[in-house]
Every structure is written in structure tokens, then in C-alpha cells.
Structure 1
Amino acid sequence: MADLNFIRVAAACPVTRVADVAFNIANIKSCIDTATEEQTKLIVFPELCITSYTCGDLFLQKKLLDAAEKGVDELRIYSKNKDVLIAVGAPLNLHTAVYNCAFVIYDGSILGIVPKSFIPNYEEFYEQRWFTSGKTITDCRVDLPFQKNIPFGVDLLFTSTPFEFGFEICEDLWSVIPPSSNLSLAGANVIGNLSASNEVVSKSDYRKQLVSTQSARCMSAYLYAGTGVGESSTDVVFGGELLIAENGNMIAANERFQRENQVITSIVDADRLNLQRIKNISFREAASIVPWQARKINFSFKSTGYGSFDRKVARHPFVPSDEKQRELRCREIFSIQTAALAKRLEHTGLKRAVIGISGGLDSTLALLVIVKTFDLLGFPRKDILTVTLPGFGTTDRTYNNAVELCKNLETDFHEVNIVAACLQHFKDIGHDPEIHDVTYENVQARERTQILMDMANKNQGLVIGTGDLSELALGWSTYNGDHMSMYAVNCSVPKTLVRYLVRYVAEKQSEQVTADILLDILDTPVTPELLPKNSEGKITQKTEDIVGPYELHDFFLYYFVRSEFTPERILFLANAAFDGKYKEETLRKWLKVFIRRFFTQQFKRSAIPDGPKVGTVSLSPRGDWRMPSDASFNTWLNQF
């Protein structure tokens, strides 16, 4: 899977002794060996780890500076045939100034040296006593006894396509405009930070926020390697924190205060980062402010392997895995939906809403949004016209849940049986009602929508749509039937998230009777109930038996639209996420169904009603997704 452009990276904290270069080098080598055993391609070490960070005035001693230089050379030689890019911290004595640097080493050669830009001199830090800032150094080269003409400066990018690596040092991240911002705009998609950040109460939380936020702002992977407990504890203590983030997500971290060598690794995804940058116009435009022309140092990894694919891939990318975060997400989405509907009602001057209630998940969520909105605006719930429209396939379970929910929420409940009207329509158009084809199904959907629209006219109300994002993606709606409404509150909520939203309202915002109804609705199979029920009055038409599991389609949708991934990459990630639940042939089958339906059903999305965007994926033709209705899917499915 080399063409998928994954890479394994590492952040390391070796055990160190203050000013003991030989001891430190031995542990750095050990960390390199650990990383290479896992097919790591980049390893980032802490700031000044060759000497240790807390040497104080010993940094002015020629003996220590010479030892550090020899230590760098020893690592350079050790790196031969290792096939790992090494970023290690050491002082550089140059032209009567000492720089705090990242030495970037690969396969027996120093590719470049990056100096620290921002030298802290406040509170417990007083680095300006020893070190000179390198923030103005660009287009420069230096000679060392063992290698000449080495690129030196803050303008260096280390490139092995499609990976571009940039490096900054500790305080650089804390500055107003970190060097990593310029490095990312110049092309770096993986940033390494060699750090020596001491521990005080709550500083770790702030540090994690900085790393995560900077990776998001730069649309990059960000590796942070902090120095550990082997540093001097004369005045401060270091915890050896190691962090790896990608585009705002923390994907690996260690436990601080360990007393052995520490190496954490993770797989990062260059394609995902690069595709996000293509989409983001602001990122591209900001590139013009980079104050220097990047010098790209080209090299090539000998192999593109990354070991086992141990990166966690969420099965439900729209749904937070953490329960607390999930509750917060549901509360926020529910608030967005209600705020949107409240604005639309205020703008139109209408004080009534009309909604068809089937006893299914989507119409239930839409009704809950309407009720919350009416409560917010101070409108009486009796001005919510809830209509159940039983037809040929309506079962007792869905019917009873619809009736009980509407009455329990104190809405103005109506029942309109559509069977007679549909039979008359079959007669009018010459359709045999015994033929249960798409005409049979769509007549029912359009009859229901016609009734709702006319009731809205009669009562000066707004028809609220119930369809969700997953149905929009698959085109699982009847054109000018349930496809149409006057405002669609669920249009950017995927099916996997609808369940959690309904459960959230049941558990957090409902009294017991309502909660019990909602929980039974949650346990009901997803169905349009357009085909006749069986002799036992049970559901015969289950949506997921026809189009496939919604959890798979939501997974495909997220990576197809949000990340712009190819079918091959989506299938690869689906195999990782659903390992043990679905076989690859099953995943491939439903992915093909998703792609075909996504392309062929665009004409429905081109004519959808207004509705609020609530998450990172929306298919509104007026904003997020603009696609011709006659685009071919052949390019995506050929040879797949």
C-alpha cells in the first residue's frame, strides 16, 4: 500500500545525564534502534539532548562544545544504512556565537542544521546568556570538521516526496508566529519540535493544546519531543512529554516522568494533509507572506514500509468515541438545529409547523427539534401540526410510537390514511397496485408530501423536512416526495449521529414516558414502510438490506467528501476500522453501491430545500458540495 502515502514517525526521550555526551549518545542510539525496528522513517529527539538542556554556563566551555560536535559526528556515522531521518538537538559553536540547533541527519550525512529562532529569557529561562537567535539566518551554509557545505538556517525543508519535513525548537512554538507556520506554508506537512519544556501545574494541558492547535492551523502532522527527568532538578523538573498530533487530533502521547528511554510512534497520512490544503483557499493564499524562499533538501527513503497499520480508525467518524464529548456534540448540534429553525420561523412570520411523523428516527429527531424551537420562542406546542400518514406498509409498532410521541409532546395531532388516495392515483395513471415497483413506492411518498404541503398552506405553517445527510448522499428519497419540504433541519446530520441525538434527548431532556417511546423508536429497524407488511403485521422492507449498512455509508461519505480520498484508500481504511465485523468483499460491494448512488443521485441534491450545516460534511448545492448532476462515476470505479 505504498501509494497510499502513510509514514511512521516517532518522538523520543532518551535517558540523559547533564553534560555527559557519551552517555547521552548511547541512549539516543538505543532509541534510534527501537524506532527502526518498527520501520519508522522520522525520529525527533529533545532539544540539546546530546549535551542535555540544563548545562548552564557549561555551554560556554569549549570542552563541552567540542564533545557535542563529536557526538553529532558519531550519530552521523551511526545513521548509515538506517533509513530513518533523525532530528537531534545539540549546540553549534559558530563564528563566536553558539546556536541551539536541530541537526537533521540521514544515512551518514547531515542534511541540514536548523537554529532556534526564539531564545527565551524570562521567568525560569535565561537562554540568551549562552545562545544566539537564528531567526534571521537563511540561505547560509556552514563547514564542520567532518562535513563541509552543510545547509544552515530557518528556511530548510527536507523532502522525500510526498513528505516534507520542517523543524522548530521549543520556544518557537510558544511565539506569536511560530516558524512552523512559515514552514508549513512553504510546503512542510510534517513538523518536528525538539523541546525542553519544564513541568509546572497544568502546563502539560496547555502544551497539548498548543501542539494540537498548531497541527490544525498548519494542516500538518506535529511531533513534539520533550526532555526528561535526567535533566538537572536544581530549580525545575522536566517530564519528557512526547506528543504526535495530526491536523488537530492527538494521535499518540506518552506518560510523563518515565525513567527509561521512551519512544512513541504513529502513522501519519500525507495524502489527507495535502488534500485538506488543496481545499483550503486561505491556506494557499497565506503562502505569499512567508518571508523567505524555502531551500528544499531532497533525499529518498530506501523503503516506504511502515510496519503494521496500527493507527486507530474510527468506525463512526461523525460520532465522538468519548461519552462526554459525544454528549457535548449532541447538545451543540441540537442547539444549531433549533437556532436555525427559530430564525426561519421569525423571518417568515409563521408560528405553525407541519411535520409528517412515521415513528422512525429521522421524523422523530425533526419533531424534537421543532418542539425545542417552539419552547425557545414561546410558541404553544399545539401549533405544531403532527401528521401520521399510514399506508400499505405501516406497522403497528411504528404507528403506535408515532401516535404516542405526538400526543405525549402535546402537539396538534392528525391522522390521514393515504391508502384510498393512492389506490385512486394508481387507477388514474393506470398502474396495477399488485405490482410493487418504484411507482408503487413513490406514489405513497408524493401523496404524503402533497398532504403536508396543503395542510401547511391551509394553516399558515412551515413544512419541516425530516431527511438526513446519509439519505441525501445515497439519494434515498423520492424526488418531489420526502425529498421536498420548506425547511430541512436534519439535512447535515448523518444517520449514525441521528441515533445518538435521539438517545441524547431521551436520556438528558425527556421525562420517562417520552424517553420510553424514544428508546423503542431507536430499537426499530430503519424502514420506509412502502411495501405491504407481512401476515403478522411486521416490517418487510428494511432499508439497510437494500442499500447496505448506514454505518458503512457514513464512513464512506466522510472520507469521500471530507477527505477527498480515492476508493482504494477508503477501502483500506474501512478494512482497518471494521476488521472482524465485515469482510473485504462486503466492504467493496457496499462501497461500489455508495459511489454509484452518490453520483447518479446528485440531481436530487441539486434541488434540495434550505437547511442548516451542523458538521464538517454538508451536501448543500449552495455551499459545500457543487457537482454536476450528470458526472460519470466510471473514473472512480474502473479497475476498482
Structure 2
Amino acid sequence: MNNSFATLGYLRLGVATPALRVADVAFNTGEILRVLDGLREEDVQLAVFPELCLTGYSCADLFYQDLLLKAAAEALPRIAAHAERLGIAVVVGLPVRQAGALFNCAAFLAQGRTLGLVPKTYLPNTNEFYEERWFASSREAFGDEVRLGAATLPFGTDLLFRWAKRPDCIVGIEICEDLWAVCPPSSTQALAGATVLVNPSASPEILGKQDYRRALVQSQSARCLAAYAYASAGPGESSTDLVYAGHSLIAENGQLLAESERFCFDSRWAVTDVDLLRLQQERLRNNAFSAQAPRNSWRMIDFECADAPLTALRRDVAARPFVPSGEQERSARCREIFALQTTALAKRLRHTGSKQVVIGISGGLDSTLALLVAVGTFDKLGLDRQGILALTLPGFGTTTRTRGNAEKLAELLGVSLKTISIDAAVLQHFEDIGHDGETHDITYENAQARERTQILMDVANAAGGLVVGTGDLSELALGWCTYNADHMSMYGVNAGVPKTLVRHLVEWCAQTEFTGAAAEVLHDICATPVSPELLPPDAEGAIRQKTEEHIGPYLLHDFFLFQAVRMQFAPARILFLAEQVFADQFSRAELLGWLKNFYRRFFSQQFKRSCLPDGPKIGSLALSPRGDWRMPSDACAALWVAELELLEKSSD
């Protein structure tokens, strides 16, 4: 399959701060051309330069000089021709005359010519700014065209520029102060379809402004569900009382993707890949966005730029999208999740008046987290931990290590502990249904899981308490749970937590919430292979049945889950992203194999998710049939399977 920028839904975007001399159009033009050469070496498709970068923003009364204005206008064709040879679309700033007034404009250049000019709307005229002395606002424009040299060009704030090869790439332009206004023009541009918002700017630096500017760009990109490219003038613009730093940055849907170095007199730029497909998916999911239909009429101008094979992304792709990479952020996230889980369970106990809960503990990650949540909940409510009935239910596959950890942890936490072997009950069941008890088939495994759930439910009834479920989000996605067994509970505290995050939560508890022997047990639980322990141990008594050897690494499945369900990406895009992240760990064939397994299980196991017990929503991805995910239990996977098969053929 052809993995180009356009087919994969990316645009390589660059923001540049060129070296500049105030009022030296020839120098400034030459430097822009040199920067474009550098950007082309990085396969940039759209380049954004600062406000009034052809003349300099600091020209003051020199803007009245006819010679300066003509020089700026005459530079555009030269830049446009150079950009065409490089296959780059360009946004540059210059002053433009129309009907006796002067406008601070951004020119959009592509295909060797100027496609349109967008004037600035909000002109700062306080403190150090005096723009109204020289420029008129876009509101004072006379007509929707302007004569520039020999060309008559589209002119106005109603212009949008669309990449013909990728129609979801629509560029909207506002200039500097426009972003700082109460209602920025970019907001209505986004509602009209603009996914890439660009801002040529000349923003002088003062103490603290860097952080404010960054927050402003990030928040506008989030509010508009768009990419936002802010190209700011650099130190060459500094004059008299003002200092310019060249703080250029790109954000996407609230996330900062790229940022330039400040206070450099030499030209600097920052480059990243904007995810157009992600932005479209976010907008489709957000009905508040689509409900705000734009009232303006817009002129859409198509442009072309180079498209090239995309082999390496210029943006970070998280291998563990549910787990923050930084230790401080991860710790804060774990604390927040634990608070969500304990508060949710506390509410259910307060509502039902229950002072007892029943949990089946196995010495594995999920049941350990559920037990820790129960302990935190009882402490929050001021209840005696003895009201937590922790049951170990050893069976044919239980190992000494896991049982020992479960019993030791329950004792250290001060909860009630009871051990009930399921062996005799399951063997009697095998006799009743005519199973030989020796064939290790699905019946052999599921009978144990269902016996355990029956015991838990009955003990809860006898105690007047609730069964707390232990299954996590990843297991629900894959259907890796026995229907009407560990699939069922009276409240599933882990239902919103994926497996890759469960481990970090337990580790966090070991590091911050517990000490001594309890922390040691938690660390050992985290080091234990994930297993349902339904098949007998090996000759050394160790776990034989390792979940990830059967269904695939949870590292991959959580990645696939995020990309397929949260981002709504197709298999080809998911495989491409997986190769970006896991190429040093898994071959393409391995990634494709586990991706096929993910789709097969995800589609076939929806019936288990359609009747889930209640459980708290934790992150932006949830699979509750009452909330985020409504999927027919009998949906056909043929469309996704066909693309996977095509990917397989292309790998041969």
C-alpha cells in the first residue's frame, strides 16, 4: 500500500523565523528562500513565516514609503516561483494597499503564484503597539479583490485554502493579535472546515509572555479541534524599546508538537507532522462542534503541494497511550485514577447501604488492584477493613507463588481472608456433564471460572454485600473473560483501566501508599506473568498458561485498542503507527498477526460487552454499552479483515 503523506492523512508543517533586517526587503527575501531550501530538505509541505516578514514589522512610518511597499509586492512572485520548484506552499506577511488604505496581510503562495491575501482584523493600538497609525482593519476593506502588480487577487478574511489531494486539509489564516482577541477569526474558520490554522505573528517578548503564548496556542488548537501553527518574528525585528524572540510553535488539539529555539539571530524553524485524520475523527465525535454551523460564506481556494512517501513520522507516537511517559505525571495520573475508583465504589456502597464487599483474589494484577481499591474505599468511608471478604479460590492451575502472594497481601492489609478450593466442586461438575476431567479444553477452563463466580456471588448474598469485579478494560476489549464468570460482578472497579495501566497503578501503590512487606508483595505481583491459571502448572510448579503467549502482548493490544476505538483509525493506519513505535521489538509480520487477532476478538466478543456490570469511566476510552461504546453484537468485520488481508499481501 502507498504510504504517502496524503494517503496516510498527514501534513508536514513548518513554522520559520528567518533572520531579518528591518526595511531590507532584498535581504529578507533571500533569507526566506534559504529557509525554504532547508525546509524542503525536511520534506515540509506547508511553511509559515512571520507577520510582515518581507519588510519587517518594526518599519513604523516607513510603511508610508512607496518604495518599500513596491519592493514587498515584487518579492512575492520570486518566492512563489521558488516555492513551486520545491513543492512547498508558503504563507508570508507583507503590507498591501487597497483603495487608499494599507493592510497588514498574509499571502498564501502555491503553484508559482499568490492564491490569496488575508488582511489582519484586530489591530493592537495600546502600550507599545501603534498599528492603527499605519494599517486599516479587514473590516474597512473595499471589495473582495486587490490589485498587486499585474495580478488581481482574492482578498479578505473569508478565504480558506484547501489541499486538492487531501480535502480535509483546509488552511485558515489569522494574524498575530487576531488570536489574542475574545473571538478569534480562527474559531469561525475552524467551524467552516479549516483543520490547519496558521498565524504569522510579530509578538515582542516580555517576562512571562512565552508561557502565556504557548498556552494560548494550545488552547485555541484544542477549542477548534485543529492544528495551530504560530510563526513569530525573531531578534532581527528588535528595535528601540522592544525585543523579539522568535517563539514559533505548532500545537494540535491541545498538544504542543513542535517549538523553536528563542533569541537566535540566525534563521530557525520547527517542523512536525499534523494528523489530519485524527482531527477529522475528533470533529466527527464532537456533536457540539458540528452543531455550531458557520453563518459566514467562504471562498475555498484549492492548492497543490508535494506529496512524498512517508517513512518516519516527525511527531511522537506513544507506545503506551494510556500511560504517561514522565514519572511525575504518571504518579499524578495514578493518584487521580485511584481517587476515581475509590469514589465510585464508595458511592455504590453508600447507595446500597452495604458495609461488606466480596473479592476473589488470585495474586494477579487485576484482583490485586481491585483489592487495593476496596481498601482505599473502606478507609475513605471509615469502615472496618474486615468488611472486605477476600476469597482465594485455588484450582487446577493455581501456583504456590500466586496463592502465597494473595494470602499474604490480604493478611497485611487487614482484610478478612477465606480459602475455598474449587477442585472437588469442578470435578463433580465434570462428572455431571460427562467431561473426563483430563481434556484441557475450553470447558475445562471455563468450568473453573464459573465455579469461582458462583461462590463469590453466594458468599456475597450470605454476607449482604457486593461482589467487586476485577476484570480490566483490555480484557473486555479482547473478550478475554469467561461469560457469566469473571465477566460478571455487581460493580467492576477496573472496567475503565487498561492492562498496561493496571501494572503501573499497582506499582504506584507499592511505592507511595504502602511500605515494608506489603510493598514487597505488590512488587512481586507486578513481576508475575499474566495468567488465568486455569491449566495445571509445569513440572517445577510455575505458571504454564501465560496469557500474552496466547492472545498477544498487552503492550500491543492496548496500543491497537487506543488507535482503533479512541482514534477510530483503520488497520492500515494502525499498522503504520505500530511500525513507527515497535519496529525494534516486533517484525511487520508479528505486528500484523497480532493486529488481526485484535480485530477478530474485538468484533466477535462484543456480546460480552453488551451486558457489562456498572463500572467507573476512567479515561477518554470506555467500552460500556451505556456510555461511550455502542456496537452491534453481530457487526460484520469483513471490511476490516479485507484491509488486513491487503496489508498481508503487500508485505509478501
Pairwise same-fold verdict (TM > 0.5):
yes
Three-state SS of the structure 2 residue aligned to 1:54 is helix
One of 183, 187, 191 as aligned partner of 1:181:
187
Tell me, in whole angstroms, the C-alpha distance in 2 between the residues paired with 1:357 and 1:307: 46
In the TM superposition, residue 138 of structure 1 has moved relative to its aligned partner by 9.7
The answer for the alignment partner of 1:213 in structure 2 is 219
Moved more, 547-556 or 300-309: 300-309
Q: CA distance change for structure 1 residues 47 and 625 in 2, over 3 Å: closer, same or farther?
A: same
**Correspondence list, 1:396-545, <5 A:** 396-545=400-549
Contact 1:599 1:633 in 2 (8 A): yes
**Correspondence list, 1:54-453, <5 A:** 54-135=58-139, 140-148=144-152, 150-160=153-163, 161-162=166-167, 163-286=169-292, 288=293, 290-305=294-309, 308-453=312-457
In the TM superposition, residue 63 of structure 1 has moved relative to its aligned partner by 2.7
Three-state SS of the structure 1 residue aligned to 2:125 is coil
Contact 2:88 2:306 in 1 (8 A): no
Tell me, in whole angstroms, the C-alpha distance in 1 between the residues paired with 2:340 and 2:604: 30
Moved more, 578-587 or 531-540: 531-540
Tell me, in whole angstroms, the C-alpha distance in 2 between the residues paired with 1:403 and 1:230: 70
Tell me, in whole angstroms, the C-alpha distance in 1 between the residues paired with 2:628 and 2:289: 17
In the TM superposition, residue 57 of structure 1 has moved relative to its aligned partner by 2.1
Tell me, in whole angstroms, the C-alpha distance in 2 between the residues paired with 1:439 and 1:377: 41
In the TM superposition, residue 608 of structure 1 has moved relative to its aligned partner by 0.5
Tell me, in whole angstroms, the C-alpha distance in 2 between the residues paired with 1:102 and 1:118: 14
In the TM superposition, residue 302 of structure 1 has moved relative to its aligned partner by 4.7
Q: Percent identity?
A: 54
In the TM superposition, residue 135 of structure 1 has moved relative to its aligned partner by 4.6
Moved more, 530-539 or 121-130: 121-130
Contact 1:355 1:452 in 2 (8 A): yes
Structure 2 segments unaligned to the other structure (5+ residues): 647-652
Tell me, in whole angstroms, the C-alpha distance in 2 between the residues paired with 1:454 and 1:171: 67
Three-state SS of the structure 1 residue aligned to 2:262 is coil
Tell me, in whole angstroms, the C-alpha distance in 2 between the residues paired with 1:109 and 1:441: 70
Which amino acid is 2:560 matched to? F
Three-state SS of the structure 1 residue aligned to 2:241 is coil
The answer for the alignment partner of 2:18 in structure 1 is 14
**Aligned residues between the structures:** 637
The Cα offsets for residues 535-558 of structure 1, whole Å up to 9 and x where unpaired, read as: 211101000000000000000000
Which amino acid is 1:142 matched to? V
Which amino acid is 2:218 matched to? S
The two structures have a TM-score, normalised by structure 2, of: 0.96
Root mean square deviation, CA, Å = 1.4
Moved more, 592-601 or 270-279: 270-279
Tell me, in whole angstroms, the C-alpha distance in 1 between the residues paired with 2:285 and 2:308: 26
Tell me, in whole angstroms, the C-alpha distance in 2 between the residues paired with 1:135 and 1:483: 62
Structure 1 segments unaligned to the other structure (5+ residues): none
Contact 2:45 2:306 in 1 (8 A): no
The answer for the alignment partner of 2:550 in structure 1 is 546
Tell me, in whole angstroms, the C-alpha distance in 1 between the residues paired with 2:601 and 2:533: 21
Which amino acid is 1:229 matched to? P
**Correspondence list, 1:575-586, <5 A:** 575-586=579-590
Contact 1:353 1:385 in 2 (8 A): yes
In the TM superposition, residue 433 of structure 1 has moved relative to its aligned partner by 0.6
The Cα offsets for residues 246-272 of structure 1, whole Å up to 9 and x where unpaired, read as: 122111112211121112111112111
Tell me, in whole angstroms, the C-alpha distance in 1 between the residues paired with 2:580 and 2:571: 14
Q: CA distance change for structure 1 residues 17 and 600 in 2, over 3 Å: closer, same or farther?
A: same
In the TM superposition, residue 304 of structure 1 has moved relative to its aligned partner by 4.3
The Cα offsets for residues 442-476 of structure 1, whole Å up to 9 and x where unpaired, read as: 11111111111111111111111010000000000
Tell me, in whole angstroms, the C-alpha distance in 2 between the residues paired with 1:308 and 1:559: 18
